[in-house]
Structure 1
């Protein structure tokens, strides 16, 4: 008798909330393995990037309105898979509405054996006394575990309480899954029990495709889809580096996505450096299928240059056979992955510029692109991610 398969087949899993599609991709991979897993989202997502249709739907992103304050009521009129559940969150009705929200969550949560709690579900799971495993994709940088934690985006009284509750939910957790190697030091200092899990990247979807020739009049196209948040992404470094590059390579293009708290600062810097408008283009936030097209239309992808590890942009681009320039901390990445990634590692402005120059050579781009895709297929494989989740669930239930 295969006790392992019996355990998995009888387990009911909820991936609660969907920050940047992490939970959606994991849930989908679990169901492809025959696991009874559901995804929970709210009817009031804080940005469009958390709506499942953004990942897999053939949609025009503009139907949701402002991508940073989307009209999620449209979800009621769209056909979603039966395994995607929606919980009602309407904060406009006042603080007492949260009591109804918690009651609704409690009704949902009690139907599952384990809740993988994406932000901010660990807080609710703790309050409702559920069996939960926090899934951390960088939140701990903002929690007051150390003196050097990053300040929250909003400094209202409510948010201070929220971050304290999230911190407490991490302290009470039996195990935490974390995706960002640079945060391992914070977890260790806080003496929290953790297990590294890579982002799930479906390489059959994120794959190389022939160019359509959108930018055929340019010699080389750089694409930086990262949000404009300088303290995390270091966008300004890439812009200073490109200023040096475009002085020599006047028929190049630098593409960026127009979103993030520091977008205005980015545009002001571009104007200050007098980078010609023909060499800089901003595109609107786009659903993932269009993002895949944009990866394939570009020659080189730039990501982030401050924290020392990556989110989903880097492995998604690598899976599309694109060379990536970004900064990663070799020491912490080596602790989490089987091998170091074939990434053009750069931290300073000069290093970024040097890697840009290196990528002028098509053979260099081809080499890093091919090696990068193979690395992602091994290290960000959704099946591997599911295995780690199941192992953590077994440990949690055994201890409970």
Structure 2
């Protein structure tokens, strides 16, 4: 059975294909030519030595025919199944091939809910898909809203061999917070972090907040920092960062700050856990219990006041170490490559053995 994975936002498609190929599964990956920095395997995986593997193929968005090119690729006879990420279920829908839709975040949370043509087509594609795979806990209640009954929860695999704890923080006595999240107030709540941090440094002036400078609200963040008179306690670095740069900053920091709006974790959370660092973020504990059985060990904060209080707690070395270790344990328990492979093989085997949709759904009765 040959499977084409289409799409690579945040390198999820690459990570999954790389691992599945190691287990012997016949999978290939289709991605954009000259991909965005945050979705480029070459920036993510230093072992590639600046050369794409031969199991990755490309479509060219600079060509007017790129959408048809994607559909033609999916229609190639050698592929038995399409595993489509984000908006690519739309293309898989028009390919006529059996396909899985794999949601990642705003595609299901916002795009599929919109009244746009793309939103309409994505909803149609989800209904046609053999299954809609999801891992964000806040997606669960959206299935009933969209009248979808083919959802399967599958926690993404995570390989801890690259993102790892390899040293103590840099020779710096300052309490260091690293904030690599995209600067977009609506989705990340970066403004809450700045306000909370400004209160925190009144009592802990020997602190430093490192912000990766990328996103539509970058200028607003700079203005906030200036207006709150904390310019000497904030450091901006150009982004996005590649994987090696992220690894360095994770290990040199005391605390990693993610998002304070959505209530769901993504790659920043998993990278933090993998490096055994404490994560300051907002996680919807009830929704996590509904899909995982327990909430992740984050230092939970939603408001700027919460952030200030949490940062104060995190000045304690033993508390940081405890939270960091618990995060690593949670990651290896629920995001194990072995667990992911077992579940995805069960799903693929349903197609290989031409089993019914009811059998496919029985793999997981979450939705």
Alignment of 1:46-61 (within 5 A): 47-57=36-46
Once residues 71 and 198 of structure 2 are traced to their aligned partners in structure 1, the CA distance between those partners, rounded to angstroms, is 54
What secondary structure, in the 3-state scheme, does the structure 2 residue paired with 1:398 have? Answer: coil
Pairing 1:200–2:172 present: no
Matched, 1:43 2:33: yes
Mapped to 2, the partners of 1:378 and 1:103 lie a distance apart of 37
| Deviation for aligned residue 1:346 | 1.0
Aligned-residue offset at 1:208: 0.3
Instruction: Verify the 8 A CA contact 1:323 1:343 in the aligned structure 2.
Output: yes
Q: Which position in structure 1 is the counterpart of 2:135? A: 179
Q: Check 1:204–1:31 CA distance in 2 against 1; reply closer, same or farther (3 A cut).
A: same
Aligned positions of 1:209-288 closer than 5 A: 209-211=166-168, 213=170, 216-288=171-243
TM-score, structure 2 as length reference: 0.90
Aligned mates of 2:92, 2:234 — CA distance in 1: 48
Cα distance in structure 1, aligned partners of 2:138 and 2:33 = 32
Q: 2:102 maps to which residue?
A: 135
The match for 1:5 is none
Which residue of the partner structure matches residue 90 of structure 1? 62
The offset of 1:59, in angstroms, is 9.1
TM-score of the pair, normalised by structure 1: 0.83
User: Is the 1:143–1:164 contact (alpha carbons within 8 Å) kept by the matching residues of 2?
Assistant: no
* Matches for 1:347-386 after TM superposition, within 5 Å: 347-386=302-341
Residue 246 of structure 1 deviates from its aligned partner by 1.2
Task: Give the match for residue 33 of structure 1.
Answer: 23
The residue matched to 1:277 in structure 2 has which SS?
Answer: helix
In the alignment, the residues of structure 1 paired with residue 317 and residue 336 of structure 2 have an alpha-carbon distance, to the nearest angstrom, of 27
**In 2: Cα distance, 1:363 partner to 1:20 partner:** 33
Give me the whole-angstrom Cα distance separating, in 2, the residues matched to 1:218 and 1:302.
Answer: 19
Q: Is the 8 A contact 1:120 1:166 kept in 2?
A: yes
Distance 1:98 1:371, change over 3 A: closer
> How many angstroms does 1:218 deviate by?
3.7
Residue of structure 2 in register with 1:69 after alignment: none
Shift of 1:390: 2.1
Does the 8 Å contact 1:325/1:344 carry over to 2? yes
Please report how far the alpha carbon of residue 212 of structure 1 lies from its aligned counterpart in structure 2 after TM superposition: 6.5
Aligned to 1:314: 269
Give the direction of change, closer, same or farther, for the CA distance of 1:212–1:220 in structure 2 (3 Å limit): closer
Counterpart-to-counterpart distance in 1, 2:179 and 2:2 = 39
Q: How many residues align?
A: 353
CA contact (8 A) 1:136 1:178 kept: yes
Contact 2:158–2:337 under 8 Å retained in 1 = yes
Contact 2:255 2:279 (8 Å CA) reproduced? yes
CA positional deviation for 1:284: 2.6
Distance in 2, matches of 1:282 and 1:44, equals: 23
Greater CA drift, 229-238 or 163-172: 163-172
Paired residue secondary structure (1:253):
strand
Specify every segment of 5 or more residues in structure 1 that has no aligned partner in the other structure, as ranges.
1-10, 61-77, 152-159
Q: CA deviation at 1:99?
A: 6.1
Question: Contact conserved, 1:118 with 1:135, CA < 8 A, in 2?
Answer: yes
Does the 8 Å CA contact 2:192/2:304 hold for their aligned counterparts? yes
| Alpha-carbon distance between aligned partners in 1 of 2:173 and 2:38, rounded to the nearest angstrom | 30
In structure 2, relative to structure 1, the CA distance for the partners of 1:217 and 1:144 (3 Å cut) is closer
Query: 1:101, 1:19 → 2: CA distance?
Result: 19
